[in-house]
Amino acid sequence: MYTYSAEDRQLLTERVAQFRGQTDRFLSGELSEEQFRPLRLQNGLYIQRQAPMLRIAIPYGLMSSTQLRRVADITRRYDRGYAHISTRQNIQLNWPALEHVPDILRDLAEVDLHCIQTSGNCIRNTTTDALAGVAVDELIDPRPYCELIRQWSTLHPEFAFLPRKFKIAVCGSDRDRAAIYSHDVGIALVRNDDGEIGAKVIVGGGLGRTPIIGQEIEAFVPIAELLNYLESVLRVYNLLGRRDNKYKARIKILVKAMGVEAFRDAVHAEWSTLKGDGNLITAQQLDAVSAHFSPMPYQEISAEAADAALTAQTSPLFQRWLDTNTSAHQQCGYRAVTISLKTPGQAPGDITAEQMDALADLADTFSFGELRNTHEQNIVLADVAIASLYPLWQALQRVNLATANIGHLTDMITCPGGDFCSLANARSLPVAEAIAQRFDDLDYLYDLGPIELNISGCMNACGHHHIGHIGILGVDKKGEEFFQVSLGGSQSAPARIGQILGPSFKAENIPGVIADLLQVYLEQRQEGERFIDTCHRIGIEPFKDSVYGPHRSQSKSLDAAA
């Protein structure tokens, strides 16, 4: 992974000192709340319902065991002994005290971590495929490009006070695992006919109140020009994006208002002033950054030896975990392991300090000391030798991290919701827990096959409900919590916004409603057809009928609000 240079560390030290000074000025009254707000937000600090929330940047989700151990340590010393993995591959602390934040930043900086630009109206953490560098369908390893974007976007003098937040995602694989069509800018790394690397650029995607699938603005930007191109997009947005209404301020609204062609023309006008100058990526720079992401020192393992190691283990539980939680690897004899943070009884994406320490140790023992946060709020050990899978699984069981549900219904994306977040209309965590309890029969889950269920506590859509195969959205109706259900959303191939099923439900009815939807699928699916494909083939009506129609199950009293 990328290792910090002396200059990177110098910048971080200066940033920590800057924020300490800003906090002191706020606490002494020299800075007003209004003046301090953007400064603290650019350091990842929200003032929340219960306490401040501090979001630690994990650049493109990649971290070392040393860094994770430090986070565990910080949660014990300054927080309540757990952390939360966010949908943008960052780590959130829910209970730090404002006056401790400068010290937390100092402790983070000691292991090259920080909270720079994890919130506020600026360029946020760049996200990517959690299987970058190991996925078998990968065309181009996105990590060096993510790192170049990280550097370019960090403390960029022109873009620290944008109309609204700005999120960039990069993917380099056949299948999009980074949801690039749901970001302000999505980048697909591609090769042209001459084999040169470039970027297909998607612009104006986003979820929130106005979900929009991004549009392709450029089929091929030569990779040397990537940062100049991004700078041009950002400048057009910074100058022309709306600032009168924060709900209309994202780039998606601007692109829609201008039309993608006019937006492209404006970007090209800026690009013409920057081309070849500014932040041109030289071959030398690219080589230097890429060297940080060279393949791990893998052992040579034959396919026969790997097979033998696996067939030796006959535990059905292990086999199940192997099927659901591990994926194929570019290196023969290795697999990538996804550790589920979706265990009943624990909030989705939450991880305790003890679990963090355990995972850090397991990463050291089995996966070259590196870990990745996924945007589905799980953690990946990307480079595990097949013979190590069984001992790894046993160790994970001991810390309650061996839940075998990756890609299945209970592997839900869920925002922290009304229990923590001051924006939320409804508490998403109890709904997630009720779903986890109701659908704890693994045989049933496996029979259902892959299903993505996403829950957001409000229309800001931090739980990405719009692109869940099943999406659940918390809404407020006259002070009461209700949940709206949508169907058919998809984060990739092709990205789609789900359709709203109909009137919303009380929390206690949600597991029953989902059971009905699943029953329709089980009755109607064709051989080998996934839930999402059945949804798209038969449309929303049969599902509506099952939930709202005259034949709906009598036991379920639907308090559907009009």
Partner 1 sequence: MARIVRSQSHSTLPPEHAFASAVAVPLADWHAKGDTRLPLLLTVSDSAEALPTDLSRIPLIVFESADFNDGRLFSIGRALRQAGFSGELRVSGDFLPDQLQYLSRCGFDSFEVPDTWAESDIEQQLNWFSVTYQSTPAALEGARVE
Chain residues binding partner 1 by CB under 8 A are 7-8, 10-11, 14-15, 18, 22, 35, 38-39, 121, 151-152, 154-163, 235, 238-239, 243, 273-274, 277-280
**Are 384 and 299 in contact, with CB atoms under 8 Å apart?**
no
**Are 91 and 55 in contact, with CB atoms under 8 Å apart?**
yes
Element (H, E) at 361: helix 353-366
Nearer to partner 1, 26 or 181 (CB): 26
Least separation in angstroms between CB 123 and partner 1: 12
The side-by-side arrangement of strands in the sheet containing 480-487 is 413-414, 453-456, 470-477, 480-487, 499-500
Least separation in angstroms between CB 23 and partner 1: 12
Residue 541 amino acid letter: E
Least separation in angstroms between CB 278 and partner 1: 5
Peptide bond into 344 cis (omega under 30): no
Least separation in angstroms between CB 16 and partner 1: 12
Alpha-carbon distance 75 to 223, whole Å?
40
Taken as a whole, the chain contains a residue count of 562
- Nearest 5°: phi and psi at 328? -65, 155
Residue 469 amino acid letter: H
Least separation in angstroms between CB 423 and partner 1: 19
Nearer to partner 1, 4 or 209 (CB): 4
Residue 498 vs residues 207, 247, 547: alpha-carbon distances, Å? 11, 20, 17
Nearer to partner 1, 156 or 556 (CB): 156
Nearer to partner 1, 7 or 193 (CB): 7
**Burial call 43-76: b when 16+ CB within 10 Å, e when fewer:** bbbbebeebbbbbbbbbbbbbbbebbbbbbebbb
Least separation in angstroms between CB 7 and partner 1: 5
Nearer to partner 1, 276 or 316 (CB): 276
Least separation in angstroms between CB 124 and partner 1: 15
Residue 21 amino acid letter: G
Least separation in angstroms between CB 253 and partner 1: 16
**Are 58 and 112 in contact, with CB atoms under 8 Å apart?**
no
Alpha-carbon distance 211 to 392, whole Å?
40
Alpha-carbon distance 422 to 416, whole Å?
10
The distance from CA 400 to its chain's CA centroid, rounded to whole angstroms, is 22
Least separation in angstroms between CB 455 and partner 1: 32
Nearer to partner 1, 22 or 92 (CB): 22
Least separation in angstroms between CB 165 and partner 1: 13
Alpha-carbon distance 406 to 156, whole Å?
37
Of the candidates 512, 509, 516, 511, the residue with the CA atom closest to the CA atom of residue 551: 516
Least separation in angstroms between CB 57 and partner 1: 14
Angle 143-452-390 from CA coordinates, rounded to 5°: 65
Nearer to partner 1, 261 or 277 (CB): 277
Nearer to partner 1, 207 or 266 (CB): 266
Nearer to partner 1, 274 or 500 (CB): 274
Nearer to partner 1, 163 or 198 (CB): 163
Nearer to partner 1, 279 or 338 (CB): 279
Least separation in angstroms between CB 54 and partner 1: 19
Please classify residue 484 by burial: count the beta carbons closer than 10 Å to its beta carbon, then call 0-12 exposed, 13-18 middle and 19+ buried.
buried
Structure-token pair, residue 253: 């609204």
Alpha-carbon distance 243 to 222, whole Å?
32
DSSP string across 227-255: HHHHHHHHHHHHHHS--S-GGG-SHHHHH
Nearer to partner 1, 20 or 536 (CB): 20
Alpha-carbon distance 181 to 203, whole Å?
8
Nearer to partner 1, 157 or 550 (CB): 157
Least separation in angstroms between CB 53 and partner 1: 21
Helix (H, G, I), strand (E, B) or coil at 306: helix
Alpha-carbon distance 557 to 351, whole Å?
36
Alpha-carbon distance 326 to 384, whole Å?
10
Peptide bond into 102 cis (omega under 30): no
**Are 428 and 416 in contact, with CB atoms under 8 Å apart?**
yes
Nearer to partner 1, 20 or 552 (CB): 20
